[in-house]
Amino acid sequence: MLRSEFGDTAYKTWLASLSLQGVEGDRVLLSVPTRFLRDWVASHYADRIRMLWRRVNPVVDGVALTVAPAATRPGGAGLPVEPAPVATLEPLAPSAAPEVEPEAEVSAPVDPRYTFDNFVVGKPNELAFAAAKRIAELDSLPFNPLFIYGGVGLGKTHLMHAIAWEIRRRTPERKVVYLSAEKFMYQFIRALREKDTMSFKELFRSVDVLMVDDVQFIGGKESTQEEFFHTFNALVDRGRQIVISSDRSPVELSGLEERIRSRLGWGLVVDIHPTTYELRLGILQTKAEVLGAQSKVPDRVLEFLARRITSNVRELEGALNRIVAQATLVGRAITLDMAQEVLQDLLRAHERRITIEEIQKRVAEHFGVKLADMHSARRARVVARPRQVAMYLAKQLTPRSLPEIGRRFGGRDHTTVMHAIRKIEELRTADSVLNEDVEMLRRLLQG
């Protein structure tokens, strides 16, 4: 199961030595032979392993990794055989020691690696960083809620944990609850099932700081939204702090009721922009130091990574970890050649970057309109529809934001882009010819 999920190599290198120790309460206990493996698995595979378990056994709420020398482990039984379902997924601290805190029940463990000190600040994230720090350092509310949004792997969860850490450190008496929107939903569903929504409400309404990660998750989930909204309002009325993260801005949150959307944008909304080369290099240098490997990784290798892996910090980190792990495990010096070899698959995936220009060109060709019509103000359907298709594909196939896509289509507003995307989404279900056009173009572009 793990093998098919992660592939042969990853399985052999990292996962084959995991062994199932049992299930304790709602946690699955796995052991690994070394600390290094534990940390590696915790930071790279824990989320997905938890997801697998959860698919099969909805009772399981988390995965705990412990270090146990091979001799004491029950006969290498390997992994989540055919797991039991898990009810929630929070990134685990590498040590996975359940934190003993009064709110441990609802709040996910805060990852000790995710602190302000470990967060590398650059142009793309300085505003979000500054806002997060303010919230953590002031007892009064400078802005409520703080809404942080940005693409995958750009540091939202890191900042959320850092805020939680800092508040707990400075004012341990304040009750800080950090959890994902998904976990919020599961807690709520459980309360409904157990006919105990009163204590659910009391619990959430008694917190001083509520942090909800990945709020986009509640899009389309009506009763969860409703409950979230009530909780949100109750806390704001009482002057409690709320911090929200999302992969898109409040206006772009789909499947969310208008009143909730607008309420989310009431306080301070900050976005984390895609990383720049300088920031990526800075992050790599910091991570190399944390790994104690700064002297082993030549600058050229770091520069190479910063130039080639641009999508998100998680991948960047993963690439560095892989190189360092390889060097450590097989005692090999880190060179540019070695890095290229170890990261072959990853680098290949990054080569095919689809650009907006490419999309515009293909779409124009396909519908027999002029490339210039992608930018023009003409609103006749014969050109407007292809333009909308191109915008839709630009959102799907590139990491560009709505405002940026708008700019590249003759300086249009982001709301126009959003409208185009909705329109095409709608048409794809209603118009099978158009749906096929879009599918074909997508395949063509993805080559």
Q: Which residues bind ligand ADP (CB under 6 A)?
A: 114, 118-120, 125, 150, 152-158, 283, 313-314, 317
Nearest one of 208, 193, 238, 209 to 59, comparing CA atoms:
193
Min CB(178)–Mg ion separation in Å: 11
Nearest residue (CB) to ligand ADP, 285 versus 328: 285
- Least Å distance, CB 24 to ligand ADP, is 27
> In this complex, which beta carbon is closest to ligand ADP, that of residue 120 or of residue 354?
120
Q: Which residue of this chain has its Cβ atom nearest to Mg ion in the complex?
A: 157
Separation in Å, CA 234 to CA 35, 188, 192, 198, 242: 44, 16, 19, 14, 11
Residue 174 beta carbon to ligand ADP: minimum distance, rounded to whole angstroms: 23
Show the site string, 148-167: x = touches Mg ion by CB under 5 A, - = not: --------xx----------
Let me know: does 30 contact 109? Beta carbons within 8 Å: no
CB of 322 to ligand ADP, least distance (A): 14
In the complex with ligand ADP, the residue whose CB is nearer, 311 or 435, is: 311
Nearer to Mg ion by C-beta: 27 or 156? 156
Which residue lies nearer to Mg ion by CB, 11 or 149? 149
Q: Which of 107, 99, 1 is nearest to 49 (CA)?
A: 1
Q: What is the token pair recorded at 422?
A: 């909705």
312 binds Mg ion (CB under 5 A): no
Residue 107 sits at φ, ψ, to 5 deg, of: -80, 140
Contact letters (x/-) for Mg ion, 103-142, by CB under 5 A?
----------------------------------------
The answer for 240, left when phi > 0, alpha when psi is -120 to 50, beta otherwise, is beta
Query: To the nearest whole angstrom, how small is the minimum distance from the Cβ of residue 152 to Mg ion?
Result: 8
The nearer residue to ligand ADP, 171 or 311, going by C-beta atoms, is: 311
Minimal distance, residue 268 CB to ligand ADP, in Å:
18
Residues making up the chain, counted from first to last: 447
Q: Which helix (H) or strand (E) holds 271?
A: strand 268-272
Long-range contact list for 203-207, CB < 8 A, 24+ apart? Answer: 203/106, 204/106, 204/177, 204/231, 204/235, 205/231, 205/234, 205/235, 205/238, 206/175, 207/103, 207/175, 207/176, 207/177, 207/235, 207/240
* Sequence-distant (≥ 6) Cβ neighbours of residue 251 within 8 angstroms: 261, 265, 415, 418
User: From the list ligand ADP, Mg ion, none, which binds 283 (C-beta under 5 to 8 Å, kind-based)?
Assistant: ligand ADP
Residue 114: CB minimum distance to ligand ADP, A: 6
Report the residue number, 98 or 112, with the smaller CB distance to ligand ADP.
112
What residue is closest to ligand ADP based on CB? 155
Binding site for Mg ion (CB under 5 A): 156-157
